[in-house]
Amino acid sequence: MDQLSQNSAPIYEALERYKAMRVLPFDVPGHKRGKGNPELTSFLGQQCLTVDVNSMKPLDNLCHPVSVIRDAERLAAEAFGARDAFFMVNGTTSAVQSMIMSVCRAGDKIIMPRNVHRSAINALVISGAVPVYVNPGINKELGIPLGMSLEDVEKAILENPDAKAVLVNNPTYYGICSDLRAITELAHRHNMAVLADEAHGTHFYFNEGSPVSAMAAGADMAAVSMHKTGGSLTQSSLLLSNGRISGGRVRQIINLTQTTSGSYLLLSSLDLSRRNLALRGKEMFREVCSLAEYARTEINKIGGYYAFSKELINGGTVYDFDITKLSVHTRNIGRAGIEVYDILRDEYSIQIEFGDIGNILAIISVGDNLFAIERLVSSLSEIKRLCSKDRAGMFDHEYINPEVMMTPQEAFYADKSTLPIRESAGRICSEFVMCYPPGIPILAPGERITAEILDYIAYAKEKGCILTGTEDLQMETIRVVKE
């Protein structure tokens, strides 16, 4: 690899060399290494502003890398066991969209679970690809969507032999994994590509006890949120490929939507985080797993809560479980997850990842320690003691099977009318409705609005979920396909 090793960090090293050159800038960005914005420099620090620079020969170009960015991407590919790795600075949203658009054109079918992140459905709106949804399994006790069973995927493949790809969450937000290796083998036998949304799976590549990673399972591409559990800056991600799709083709697809002004703050954070994971990742994630298991055990001792784990594995819709996801069921203390989420932040100054109507999720990763875990556990114990309520009247499930009437692209670009949301039952939705996080649509363009869905939306709103996706920021009205 041209004398490169995982000890190298080519982008970081090039930035250090460039700083030492003391170049006088007459290029963008206009703050000129922080001199033009002293308030920002004071807030973020001189060190940060001096490396917020533009693409140039010594620093390479993200759109067409030929030197240090190329080398950093090669090292990332090696570290993650991929043929190609692409640095993404528009977030994993951009990685998911580029991944789908690399294999699907307008009218092409793609098999996917309906509990995908909105970025995957956005890709269908942009590209015109057609979803074949596989409804995930449901755990009725917890009210959460699970993974796709191999049997359901096979049924979808046999009924849609012209589909171009299968998309798999690896894992879901709750830590649930489908049988990715078997799904990949099945899809490849039918000449379909396999794409993995690994937004929450960075650590799978560096932790021997984790579920199988997409590249190890033989999947064709994976979108990996390095910033979620890998230590890089927010909005920085990787798109990995096993080589079945031409790297040049993927780069051209990426360049359709990714910025031409790639942030070197984000790029260097990817470079340094990859080096850190390659050199110390296994040791780091052993400790993460130990902390997560300790937290799970202590929370379950409190009573009322249920911090679930590998006992959910059933060989089908739950093939494996990511133990670093501290998912906790809260409904038995009479509180929606979003209520516990708000209490933790507002009363205990603890910010967890999300709360939905029945569960909370705390991300345990490389920046955590035992003191932080103890504080979380003790706060949950106190919340149970002080805030428990009767659970009567609580909504009991997160996922509602959709009625798909039109493709996302057709519905999104159709002539629309606006209705009060409570009067929209029976109509076809032309926009998204979702709680964020996690960003999994309750309604997506092209789906029929039902009374059950409207009841769910009203309940989620009442409990304090942040609802997003509609043109109306107050979510009093909704855009529907004009009849």
Give the pLDDT mean for 355-370.
94
pLDDT of 401: 87
pLDDT of 289: 97
Please calculate the CA angle 52-241-82 and round it to the nearest 5 degrees.
90
pLDDT of 113: 96
Q: Which of 141-145, 190-194, 388-392, 395-399 has the highest mean pLDDT?
A: 190-194
Which of the residue ranges 124-128, 402-406, 460-464 would you say has the lowest mean pLDDT?
460-464
Give the pLDDT mean for 213-222.
98
pLDDT at position 179 over 80: yes
Give the pLDDT mean for 206-212.
94
Q: What is the CATH T-level fold of the domain 408-481, as seen in this structure?
A: Molybdopterin biosynthesis moea protein, domain 2 (3.90.105)
**What is the spatial distance between Cα 426 and Cα 275, in angstroms, rounded to a whole number?**
53
Q: Which structure tokens are listed for 317?
A: 């819709």
| Backbone torsions φ then ψ of 428, nearest 5 degrees | -95, 125
Give the pLDDT mean for 319-326.
97
What is 246-305 written as a DSSP string?
-HHHHHHHHHHHS-SS--HHHHHHHHHHHHHHHHHHHHHHHHHHHHHHHHHHHHHHHSS-
> What are 422-442's pLDDT values in tens digits?
999 999 999 999 988 888 999
Q: What is the mean pLDDT of the chain?
A: 96
* Confidence category of residue 237, pLDDT binned at 50, 70, 90: very high
Provide the residue type at 111 as one letter: I
pLDDT of 396: 74
Close Cβ partners of 230 (under 8 Å, ≥ 6 residues apart): 202, 203, 224, 273, 274, 277, 366
Question: What is 60-278's CATH number, 2.170.120.12, 3.40.640.10, 3.10.20.30, 3.40.50.300?
Answer: 3.40.640.10
Provide the residue type at 277 as one letter: L
Can you give the length of the chain in residues? 483
**What is the spatial distance between Cα 10 and Cα 69, in angstroms, rounded to a whole number?**
7
* Confidence category of residue 191, pLDDT binned at 50, 70, 90: very high
pLDDT of 279: 98
pLDDT of 2: 55
* Contact (Cβ atoms closer than 8 angstroms) between residue 348 and residue 314: no
Q: Which structure tokens are listed for 171?
A: 């894992």
pLDDT of 270: 98
Domain ranges (residues) in the chain = 60-278, 279-387, 408-481
> What are 38-94's pLDDT values in tens digits?
999 999 999 999 999 999 999 999 999 999 999 999 999 999 999 999 999 999 999
> What are 371-395's pLDDT values in tens digits?
999 999 999 999 999 999 998 888 8
Give the pLDDT mean for 325-340.
96
> With 0-12 CB in 10 A as exposed, 13-18 as middle and 19+ as buried, what is 367?
exposed
* Confidence category of residue 1, pLDDT binned at 50, 70, 90: very low
Close Cβ partners of 196 (under 8 Å, ≥ 6 residues apart): 167, 168, 169, 170, 180, 214, 217, 219, 221, 222, 223
- pTM attached to this predicted model: 0.95
pLDDT at position 19 over 80: yes
SS3 155: helix
Provide the residue type at 57 as one letter: K
> What are 462-480's pLDDT values in tens digits?
998 989 999 999 999 999 9
Superfamily of domain 279-387: Aspartate Aminotransferase, domain 1 (3.90.1150.10)
Give the pLDDT mean for 365-373.
94
Which of the residue ranges 175-189, 373-387, 394-408 would you say has the lowest mean pLDDT?
394-408
Closest to 55 measured CA to CA, from 329, 352, 325, 259: 259
